[in-house]
Structure 1
C-alpha cells in the first residue's frame, strides 16, 4: 500500500511539529495549505516545500524498490502485472518529482507543485539575493531525484522538463539518455558543494535534514557522488577510481551522526506529520501492510539484534506453525507447499514466534488479521518496540510515528566500500561489512527510547550483538566467493529497511543475493528491470511512447537480460 500524505508547505506547521520552533513565517490557512502558489511563495516557503516533497518522493520510491528486493512485501504473482507498479499507480511518484497536476489525478485531492517545478521557481530569487545555501540544498535534492528517476524508469525528461523561465514552455518534453542525466547530477553536486561553502546574505530559515550543518551537507553531496559512481561502474571504466578518490579525501558520510534522513513528528491531524508507514498501520482497524517473510525469516534465524526494532508482533504464534492452521485468517496454512519452494528449501506461508507476514508475490485477499499480523516497529517508523507483550496495537502506540526516512547512511557507505573492495578480492570485504553492520545495529538500537512504554530489558545485550557479528564473520570466512557476495547482499539489504532504493540498484548491479525466496508463482515472468512509464506521462506527452515492457534495462544495467541474469524470480 502507498500512503498519500499531505504536503506541508509552511514553516509554521513543519518546524513547530518537527524541529521545535519558527517564529517569522506565517501561512494564511484560510487558503489551501496543500498548494503553494509559485508566484507568491517566498524562497523559504519554496525550500520548505522542496524538502518535504523530497521526503515523500524517497518514501514512495523506497517502497517500490524494497518490495522488489524482499525488504518489503510484493503483492503480485506476475511481475508484468503488479498493481502497485502499474502505470496508473506510478503517477504520484512522477508528479511529486516533476510538476504536480493540481490534484487532478492524485488521490484524496492531494495537490503538489513538484520538486523540480519548485526548484525552478526558487532559482531566480535565490540567485538575485545570493541565497547560495537555498540553492545548494535544492541542487542536492534535484541530483538525487533525477538519478532515482533514471534508476527506476530509465530515460526520462530532464533538459526539456519544467521550463519555468521560458516564455513558451515545452509541453511535450522528450526524454534524455540516462547517462547524460547522471552527468548532469554530478555537475549539480559539484556546484552545490561550492554553494554550501559560499558566504551568503541569508541562511535558509529551515533545514529539515541537517539543521544548518553545511559541512554535513558537503559530505552528503560527496556521498551521493560515490553512490552515482558505484551505480554506473559497469559502464564507466573510471568509476571505481572516482569512488576511491572521494574515499581518500575523507569528506563523506562515515558516522551515523552525519546520516541524511528526514525526521517525522507525532501530530496526527492538520497536518498528519507522522511517519507514513506508522500512519498507515497504527489505525483503529489495525495494520494495513504485510511484512516480508523472507526478511523476517532471515533475521529470526540469525538472531539479528535489530529484529525487535523492525517488527512488532501482535501475537506469539502464526496459524500453521505453533498453533493449528486457520483458513479464515491465513488460508495458505492449509495449502501444500509449492514444489519450487520445496525444491529450494524456502520458507512458505508461516514463520515461528509470531512473525506473521506474507511470501513474495502472495496476492490473496485480505482476511480479518489487522490485529494479528506483524507490523512496522520502532525503527524506522516510530512504532512499538517488540518486548514480547503480544497485544494488538492502538493508535498512538510506541513512538507515535516520530520515525525517520533514511536516505544516505554511514552504514550504507561501509557496504558500498565492501562492494568496491570485493571486485578485486571477495575476501577483502569483511571489515567493511562488519563496520556497516555495527553502525546499523547501533543506530537501530538508539530508536528503542522512542517507545516510552517499552520494556527495554528485552533489547539485545552487548554480548548478543557481538555474537551476531561474530556469526556473520564466521559465515563470511567459511563461504566461497559467491557465498561472500550473498552475505554482503543480505547484510546490506537488512540495513536498508525503510528505503529500498539502493537495494534494488544493488540487486540489478550484482545479481546478489541468490538466497531470495522466489515469487510464489512458479512462472512469474521476467523480473522487473525498470518500471513502466506512469500513465500521466505517456497519455499527456505526444513525444513519448509507452515502454514495451518492464524488462527494459537502465543504461548502467549491462547484465544479461532476465531470466539469464541470476535473478530469483
Structure 2
C-alpha cells in the first residue's frame, strides 16, 4: 500500500513538472493585446493621440521659460521646473509612442502599407529630436529592448539627431511614389504621402537651423531641404485639430478646458501680452498694436490697473504702480511692464518667475483667446468666461507643431545667418503674412461672435468683425511697419532681432520652438528679466524625469545649466 501511494505521488509530481514547463512556454497575459492581435487602425490612432499629447507636454514648461506664458512655480530657476515635470512626456514617448510605432511598423511593413510606416517614422524622428532639445542625452539605441536591457544607457544628443535625420530619409524613401492604402484616419494629413514627405523635409530644415551654431554643413542642409520641398502653404501645416464635443468624449483643446469651464485659467505672461500690445510704437511714441492681440487673448476686465488691491500679487507693491518696477527691468528696457501688461488696459497676467500666492483673480485674469486654442475672441465685452464651456469657438483649436509661417521664419534666420539661397527680408514678410492669414482664419470657428451687432459708444452700430477684427489694411500696415524697421536696421544683429521677434509672436501655441529659438539666439533682445534679482543661471535644459532617474541605475540626474549639444553658449540668456 505504501508503495502504491508513493507511485501516485510520483505521477502527480511528474504531471506538475510538465504543467510548469507548459506555463513557462505560455506566459501570455490573456487580457493583454499582443502585436499579432492588435488592430492596425487602432494602434495608428493611438500613435496620433500620443503625438498630440507630446505636443501638449511640450507647451507649458518650455513656453514659460521663453516668457510666452507665465512661470509661477518659483522665484529661482533651479525650482522653476522639477524632476517630476516631464514624467508624463517620458512615459508618452517611451511606453506610448515608440512602443505603438513599433507595433504599427511590424504590422504594416510586411504588407506594404508605406504611408503607415513612413508617417510613423517621421513622428518618431520628431520625438527623438524633442527629447534632445529638452533634456540633452537620453536613451535611444538601448531603449525598448524589454528584459534584454532593463537599464538603458543614454546616447549623445548629437548621435540621436543623426539617427533622426536618417530615419526621416528612410521615411521619404518609404513614401515616395507609393500607391499604398492610406490609414483609415489620419488627423494630420488625411493619408497624403506628399504632405508627409514635405513634413520630413521640413523637419530636416528645422534640424539644420537648430544646430547651425555647431553644424558646419547647416547651410547646405537647409538648401537641400528647400530644394526637396518643404511646407509652404497653410494646407500643409502639421497640427493636431480638436473638436467641440464637451463629453463622451471631450474632444476640446485642453487649454480651452483650462480657462472656459469652472476653474481659474493659467496665468498669461505680462511680457508676451505687452509684446503685442505696446512694444512697437508709432512716430509719436504711442503703441502700435498688433492686430493679432484680440485673437490671442481675452480680457475679463476692462482696466487691470484699477482693481481692488486684494486681487493683485505684484510682489514689490500692493498695486500695479509702475513707479515700483524694479531697476533691473529698466536695465533691459525702460518700457517693460510691471504687474500688468499695459497700464490702463485689461491685460492681467504675471511677471516672469512670480511665485506669489494666488489671489481671488480667477474671473479677472486674461485667458487664452480664439487662436490657436479655440477660445473667445476679445470683443470688448470683458465678461467672466468660466461658463462651463459654452463660449467662443468651444475648444475647436489646434496644437501647432510645424506651420508654414514657422518655416518661413526659419528660412529667414538661415538666410541671414548662414547665407542660404533665400532672401531674409522676403521670408520675413512671407512669414508675417502667413501668420495673419492663419490667425484671422480662425474667425470661421466662431462666426456668431464676428457677425454680432454691437452698439458703439457715442452712437451707431457695427459688427464685431468691423469694429475689432483685423482686415487687410491692418495686416499691410503692420507688415510695412516691420519691414521699415528691418530696412533701417544698422546691422545683421538688429535685423536678426527683428526676424526673431516676429517669429516669437507667430509661435503662439508652440512652446518648444520659442525655447529653442531663445537659447539659439538670445532674442528677442528685450526679454523680460525675472521678477526677483539674481534668479540663478537660466535653465538651458530640463531635469531628467524622476521616474527615469529613480528606476534606471544607469541614469543620473543632470544640472539645469547643462547645454544640449547644439547650444554652444554663445547666446546670452537670463
Q: Deviations over 1:192-217 (max 9, x none)?
A: 11222254554211111011222111
Q: Is it true that 1:294 corresponds to 2:276 in the alignment?
A: no
Label 1:515 to 1:123 Cα distance change in 2 as closer, same or farther (>3 A): same
User: Alpha-carbon deviations, 1:451-496, whole Å to 9, x = none?
Assistant: 2331222102221211111111122222233322221111101101
Pairwise CA distance, 1:236:
1.6
Query: Which segment drifts farther, 153-162 or 511-520?
Result: 511-520
Q: How many residues align?
A: 506
Deviation at 1:334, TM superposition (A): 2.2
What corresponds to 1:416 in structure 2? Answer: 410
Gap change, CA 1:38 and 1:370, over 3 Å in 2:
farther
Partner of 2:218: 239
Q: Name which of 339, 348, 355 aligns with 1:349.
A: 339
| Pair 1:544–1:558, CA change in 2 (3 A) | same
CA distance, structure 2, for counterparts of residue 367 and residue 220 of structure 1: 44
Query: What is aligned with 2:190?
Result: 211
Cα distance between partner residues in 2 of 1:246 and 1:355: 41
1:326-346 per-residue CA deviation (whole Å, 9 max, x = no partner) reads 321113262522221244312
Q: Which residue of 2 aligns with 1:340?
A: 328
Q: 2:509 aligns with which of 483, 495, 498?
A: 498
CA offsets 1:354-411 (integer angstroms, 9 cap, x no match): 1111111111111121211111111000011111111111222111001011011111
Normalised to the residue count of structure 2, the TM-score between the two structures is 0.85
Equivalent residue in structure 1 for 2:301, among 304, 315, 318? 315
| 1:117-137 CA distance string (max 9 Å, x none) | 111222221122222211111
Per the TM alignment, residue 146 of structure 1 is displaced from its structure 2 partner at its CA by 0.5
Write the distance in 2 (CA, Å) between the matches of 1:389 and 1:381.
19
Corresponding position: 1:368 with 2:360? yes
Higher alpha-carbon Rg: 2
Structure-2 residue corresponding to 1:554: 564
Match of 2:119 in 1: 137
Find the counterpart in structure 2 of residue 521 from structure 1.
532
- Does structure 2 retain, via aligned residues, the 8 Å contact 1:97–1:115? yes
Q: Unmatched 5+ residue regions in structure 1?
A: 1-31, 100-113
Whole-angstrom distance in 2 between the partners of 1:71 and 1:456: 27
Find the counterpart in structure 1 of residue 138 from structure 2. Answer: 156
Runs (5+) with no aligned partner, structure 2: 1-30, 279-287, 450-463
The DSSP-based 3-state class of the residue aligned with 1:536 is helix
State the distance in 1 between where 2:402 and 2:331 align.
Answer: 38
Contact 1:162 1:169 in 2 (8 A): no
Describe the shift of the 1:508–1:119 C-alpha distance in structure 2 as closer, same or farther (beyond 3 A): same
Structure 1 segment 201-280 matched on structure 2, within 5 A:
202-249=181-228, 251-280=229-258
In the TM superposition, residue 64 of structure 1 has moved relative to its aligned partner by 2.1
- Which has the higher mean CA deviation after the structures are superposed, 464-473 or 475-484? 475-484
Q: Per the alignment, do residues 40 and 424 of structure 1 end up closer, same or farther by CA in structure 2, a change over 3 Å counting?
A: closer
1:45 — aligned with what? Answer: 42
Any idea what SS the aligned residue of 1:187 has?
helix
Match of 2:64 in 1: 67
RMSD in angstroms over aligned alpha carbons? 2.0
Report if the CA contact (8 A) 1:91-1:534 is conserved: yes
Q: 1:397 aligns with which of 391, 397, 402?
A: 391
Correspondence 1:545 to 2:556: yes
- Does the CA-based 8 Å contact 2:313-2:358 persist in structure 1? no
Matches of 1:258 and 1:115, distance apart in 2: 23
1:531 aligned residue: 542
CA contact (8 A) 1:529 1:553 kept: yes
d(CA) in 2 for partners of 1:531, 1:396: 37
Q: 1:546 to 1:199 in 2, by over 3 A?
A: same
**In 2, are the aligned partners of 1:129 and 1:201 still within 8 Å (CA)?**
no
Q: Secondary structure at the match of 1:116?
A: helix
Q: CA deviation at 1:551?
A: 0.3
Instruction: Kindly indicate whether residue 318 of structure 2 is the aligned counterpart of residue 331 of structure 1.
Output: no
Q: Which residue of 2 aligns with 1:29?
A: none
The CA distance in 2 between the partners of 1:248 and 1:197, in whole Å, is: 15
Aligned counterparts of 1:295 and 1:204: Cα–Cα separation in 2: 39
d(CA) in 2 for partners of 1:155, 1:424: 27
**Distance between the aligned counterparts of 1:92 and 1:36, measured in 2?**
23
SS in 2 for 1:407: strand
Residue-by-residue CA offset, 1:196-244 (whole Å, 9 max, x unaligned): 2254554211111011222111101100010011111222211111111
After the TM superposition, which of the residue ranges 521-530 and 332-341 deviates more from structure 2?
Answer: 332-341
Q: State the Cα distance separating 1:37 from its structure 2 match.
A: 6.7
Distance (whole Å) between structure 1 residues aligned to residue 526 and residue 178 of structure 2: 51
3-state SS of the aligned residue for 2:239? strand
- Taking the aligned partners of 1:37 and 1:263, their CA distance within structure 2 comes to 30
Aligned to 2:435: 440
Given that 2:299 and 2:365 are in contact with CA atoms closer than 8 Å, whether structure 1 keeps it comes out as: yes
Distance 1:190 1:246 in 2: 11
Identify which of 71, 75, 78 aligns with 1:77. Answer: 75
The equivalent residue for 1:466 is 476
Deviations 1:54-90 (A, max 9, x none): 01101211322211111111122211111xx211121
* Structure 2: distance between partners of 1:201 and 1:214: 9
Whether the 8 Å contact between 2:125 and 2:165 is mirrored in structure 1 is yes
Work out the CA distance in 1 between the residues paired with 2:232 and 2:238.
Answer: 11
Shift of 1:38: 5.4
Contact (CA 8 Å) 2:375, 2:392: kept in 1 or not?
Answer: yes
| 1:129–1:310 distance in 2 versus 1, CA, 3 Å | same
Give the TM-score taking structure 1 as reference length. Answer: 0.85
Alpha carbons 1:73, 1:360 under 8 Å: kept: yes
